[in-house]
């Protein structure tokens, strides 16, 4: 009788141990899934950040190029108008006309 009781206790202990191990494995699976999701979300956020930074850089570069082109255009217009003002005594080329001619040729 005592031996049967010991066997039942041992089986109960083993069942409890198996249940604890199963819970531990489930917890590890859940932890791994959370970690994978965290890595995925972090990678997406970093990619979005890089894309946003690239867009800002592109916008900045475009603005700088436009400013430089406008400066060059104004410089050349001033030179042309100075040349023609000496020849004809008046300003012949307007800024908007040269701007249209320049960008239509692109």
24-28, 49-53, 64-68, 98-102: range with lowest mean pLDDT: 98-102
pLDDT score recorded for residue 105 = 54
- The rounded distance, in Å, linking the Cα atoms of 99 and 33 is 59
pLDDT score recorded for residue 30 = 97
CA within 13 Å, CB half, 64: 6
- Report yes or no on whether pTM surpasses 0.95: no
Asked whether the predicted pLDDT for residue 69 surpasses 90, the reply is yes
Place of tokens 């960008």: 103
The arithmetic mean of pLDDT across residues 64-91, rounded, is 80
């Amino acid at each position: 009788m005592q031996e049967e009781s010991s066997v039942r206790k041992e089986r109960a202990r083993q069942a409890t141990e198996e249940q604890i191990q199963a819970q531990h494995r489930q917890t590890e699976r859940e932890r791994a899934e959370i970690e994978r999701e965290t890595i995925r979300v972090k990678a997406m956020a970093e990619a979005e950040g890089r894309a946003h930074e690239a867009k800002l850089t592109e916008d900045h570069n475009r603005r700088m190029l436009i400013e430089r082109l406008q400066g060059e255009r104004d410089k050349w217009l001033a030179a042309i108008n100075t040349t023609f003002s000496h020849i004809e005594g008046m300003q012949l080329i307007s800024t908007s006309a040269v701007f249209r001619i320049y960008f239509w040729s692109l």
